[in-house]
Amino acid sequence: MNINLSENFNDFEQKELAPENESFVVDSDSKANWALRKIAEHQANIANIRAFVASEIERLEDYENAMTDPEQSNIDWLEQLLRPYAAKQLEGQKTKTYKLPCGKCSFKKDTVTITRDENALLAFCKANAPDYVKVKESVDWAGYKKQCTIDDGKMITPDGEIVAGVTVQPEGPDIFKVEVSKDGL
């Protein structure tokens, strides 16, 4: 089934989805295979729709960049013109902001950027500042869970104690999963 995605995109809000035929029952391998082929067809349609939307997003982002890049270049140029003027007006003043009727120009200190190598820093602090080294304790959950059992919604230790701090949710129904082969169409 080939969908014209552009037309579909423009009028999808106007469509009313008709309910599926609820009288159809899968009661044979032939009907089951038909259902799997239909699932594969719908999955292909979803992939086409997602590809269409991705291309439209890319196209809109290209448009946005084409329209905003010249505007940002103009802003950058005007800020370069304002910078020396504002600096001259603020010479010898405590304030770092020059106010004008249409806005203000201000100077702020640049923040310091610190990068760190966690392993080297940890080794250094272990040797020189051990008070600043954190030790984190945690339970070996995978190992502990293997030795315990579940009974009546509770986790029980090998010696019969109920494990504190553990909540056991009962199992739900089996999860039904359908996988369609690539050549399902």
Q: Please list the ranges in the chain whose pLDDT falls under 50.
A: 1, 13-19
Per-residue pLDDT tens digits for 36-61: 999 999 999 999 999 999 999 999 99
For 91-121, letters b (16+ CB in 10 Å) and e give eeeeeeebeeeeeebeeeeeeeeeeeeeeee
Q: Distance (Å, rounded) from C-alpha 60 to C-alpha 49?
A: 16
| Domain boundaries along the sequence of the chain | 5-13+21-112
- Which tens digit of pLDDT belongs to each residue from 147-159? 999 988 889 999 9
Who's near 150: CB < 8 A, 6+ residues apart?
Answer: 156, 168
pLDDT at 13: 41
